[in-house]
């Protein structure tokens, strides 16, 4: 491996961690968080929900299986920076096409390794997620001024950064003929002689795998930008609406909340994941709050209250639903067993539900995939006669 330049990760409270720069050479500012997943760094790096954040991996060595062409969750990484204990000098995997270093450099994402990620994680757990910067070695005092001048996560609308496109149709589920087919169903499955139900997926920063799951259970999917109006979406004639994951503070997305209220009022089946869940919370009249250091992991146990079953879930969010703010016609359905936060809600009178985790990420591995089948079944139940 080539000798790399020294660098620094500087936090807004003045704590500095020194290591070696890799990836893109420019500075990267963002909210510093940690993710405890042992693998899946490519999916994490390309998850649009990480826009505006610097992600620290707690696993000791990262990059050892390289980067492939199948596992990207978006067309490009949106995160502000990447941190690990050791960047692997060896890449070994039959699907690998390039190194993590090459990928981040080509994508414009600065990164740093050689730092004590255990000490960094403990610091963030104690003091909370905070702004920071990755930079080549330079004057810490000057850098600190720049960090403190950078935006905080609260109040930021990052959705418009990651979701800006014309509507498009998605027709591809899983290519694999194995486990996903038997669990989610056969791609395009629906009653003989009938058309597939239409699902309008609102893209607030959607992961590709979520959209594939919707296709796989039998939906005809059209993906709309986050700024699409309810009128534009309804003009397509959807049988159901999906609200995707995404980055930033849900309270800042007043335009999205307004359109969701209109869609929910039409009594369409609605399913929300992560940011979509938080936006439903606001649309129902509830509120969200900022978590101290967020949930970024692949092993959070979540209990479904109606059944008592516990699912092992993948999570990536910095905000949570305030259960005391929910109206009487909305109930909590899932609870995070680590800290008791809300992990799911549903409306008692409308076909609307949401979860604060990623069922498509399959850490269980298939504990939560049933939610996509549940959504499809709900759409069938509420489909117009003859559909």
pLDDT tens-digit map of 118-163: 999 999 999 999 999 999 988 889 999 999 999 999 999 999 999 9
- Measured in degrees and rounded to the nearest 5, phi and psi for residue 14 equal 95, -10
Kindly tell me if the per-residue pLDDT of 177 is higher than 80: no
Find out whether 71 and 163 touch, Cβ atoms under 8 Å.
no
Q: Which residues pair with 135 in a beta bridge?
A: 8
Alpha carbon of 268 to those of 278, 344, 359: distances in Å?
Answer: 18, 19, 21
Q: Give residue-wise pLDDT tens across range 20-65.
A: 999 999 999 999 999 999 999 999 999 999 999 999 999 999 999 9
What angle (nearest 5°) sits at the alpha carbon of residue 78, between those of residues 74 and 81?
135
pLDDT band at residue 191, thresholds of 50, 70 and 90?
very low
Please report the pLDDT score of residue 189 as a whole number.
47
Please report the pLDDT score of residue 301 as a whole number.
97
**CATH number assigned to the domain covering 159-381:** 3.40.50.880
DSSP 27: -
Please report the pLDDT score of residue 362 as a whole number.
83
Q: Give residue-wise pLDDT tens across range 314-331.
A: 999 999 999 999 999 999
Q: Domain 6-149 has what CATH class?
A: alpha beta
Average pLDDT along the chain? 93
Tokens of 87: 């960047």
Q: Give residue-wise pLDDT tens across range 345-356.
A: 999 999 999 999
Enumerate the domain spans of the chain: 6-149, 159-381
Residue with tokens 């001048």: 149
pLDDT band at residue 194, thresholds of 50, 70 and 90?
low
Residue with tokens 């500087």: 10
Give the integer Cα–Cα distance in Å for 296 and 219. 29
Catalytic residues: 274, 358, 360
Give the integer Cα–Cα distance in Å for 299 and 181. 24
> Above pLDDT 70, what percent of the chain?
94
SS3 121: helix
Using alpha carbons, select from 280, 291, 287, 285 the residue that is nearest to residue 321.
287
Using alpha carbons, select from 154, 160, 255 the residue that is nearest to residue 203.
160
pLDDT band at residue 79, thresholds of 50, 70 and 90?
very high
Residue 126, judged by CB atoms within 10 A of its CB (0-12, 13-18, 19+), counts as: exposed
Kindly tell me if the per-residue pLDDT of 115 is higher than 80: yes
Residue 386, judged by CB atoms within 10 A of its CB (0-12, 13-18, 19+), counts as: exposed
Please report the pLDDT score of residue 186 as a whole number.
55
SS3 358: strand
pLDDT band at residue 253, thresholds of 50, 70 and 90?
very high
Q: Is 159-381 the same fold as 6-149?
A: no
């Amino acid at each position: 491996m080539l000798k790399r330049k020294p660098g620094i990760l500087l936090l807004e409270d003045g704590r500095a961690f020194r290591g070696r720069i890799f990836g893109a050479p420019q500075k990267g500012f963002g909210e510093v968080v940690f993710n405890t997943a042992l693998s899946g760094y490519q999916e994490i790096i390309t998850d649009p929900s990480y826009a505006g954040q610097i992600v620290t991996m707690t696993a000791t060595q990262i990059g050892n299986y390289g980067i492939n062409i199948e596992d990207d969750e978006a067309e490009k990484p949106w995160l502000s920076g990447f941190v690990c204990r050791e960047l692997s000098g060896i890449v070994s995997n039959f699907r690998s096409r390039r190194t993590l270093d090459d990928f981040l450099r080509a994508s414009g994402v600065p990164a740093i390794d050689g730092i004590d990620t255990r000490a960094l994680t403990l610091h963030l757990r104690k003091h909370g997620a905070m702004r920071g910067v990755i930079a080549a070695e330079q004057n810490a005092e000057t850098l600190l001024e720049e960090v403190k001048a950078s935006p905080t996560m609260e109040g930021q609308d990052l959705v418009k950064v990651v979701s800006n496109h014309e509507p498009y149709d998605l027709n591809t589920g899983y290519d694999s003929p194995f486990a996903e087919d038997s669990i989610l169903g056969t791609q395009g499955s629906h009653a003989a002689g009938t058309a597939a139900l239409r699902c309008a997926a609102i893209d607030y920063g959607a992961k590709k795998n979520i959209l594939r799951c919707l296709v796989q259970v039998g939906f005809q999917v059209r993906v709309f930008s986050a700024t699409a109006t309810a009128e534009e979406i309804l003009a397509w004639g959807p049988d159901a609406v999906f609200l995707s994951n995404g980055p930033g503070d849900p309270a800042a997305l007043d335009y999205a909340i307004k359109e969701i209220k209109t869609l929910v009022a039409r009594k369409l089946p609605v399913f929300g994941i992560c940011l979509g869940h938080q936006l439903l919370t606001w649309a129902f009249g509830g509120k969200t709050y900022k978590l101290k250091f967020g949930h970024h992991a692949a092993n959070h146990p979540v209990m479904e209250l109606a059944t008592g079953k516990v699912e092992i879930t993948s999570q990536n969010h910095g905000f949570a639903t305030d259960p005391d703010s929910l109206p009487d016609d909305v109930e909590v359905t899932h609870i995070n067993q680590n800290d008791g936060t809300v992990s799911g809600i549903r409306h008692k009178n409308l076909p609307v539900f949401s979860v604060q985790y990623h069922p498509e990420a399959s850490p269980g591995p298939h504990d939560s995939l049933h939610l996509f089948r549940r959504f499809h079944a709900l759409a069938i139940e509420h489909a117009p006669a003859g559909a």
